[in-house]
Amino acid sequence: MKHTSNTRIVFADSSGEAKEQYLALKIETKDPGAVLECFKVSELEDFDLSSGFNFVGEISVSPPVMEEIRQDPERAYVLYYLEDIEVGC
């Protein structure tokens, strides 16, 4: 089953730059085939900067994350890995 992991906020001038910054963090995943998702918040139709919570792709961002995004919303990207992770019962 696909799960999100390692969510980060990155401030960049392009999605390519945001991905480079994220990859430079050298975050390890459990799934070697993990897919890096990247969203520019200012380009998301349903994103409400004044809201406490928002949905970005497969995740919801909480009030502390929203505060970070508000520091520079025009350059804010939300990135995370979408990976296959075995979840035990």
Q: Is 7 part of a structural domain of the chain?
A: yes
- Say what the pLDDT of residue 85 is: 77
Q: Is 89 part of a structural domain of the chain?
A: no
> 78 near 15, Cβ under 8 Å?
no
Q: Which residues of the chain have pLDDT under 50?
A: 89
Q: Is 19 part of a structural domain of the chain?
A: yes
Query: Domain residues for 41?
Result: 2-84
Q: Is 41 part of a structural domain of the chain?
A: yes
Whole-model pTM? Answer: 0.91
Q: Is 32 part of a structural domain of the chain?
A: yes
How far apart CA 78 and CA 89 sit, in angstroms, is: 30
Q: Is 10 part of a structural domain of the chain?
A: yes
Q: How far is CA 56 from CA 24, 30, 60, in A?
A: 22, 22, 6
The number of folded domains in the chain is 1
Q: Is 64 part of a structural domain of the chain?
A: yes
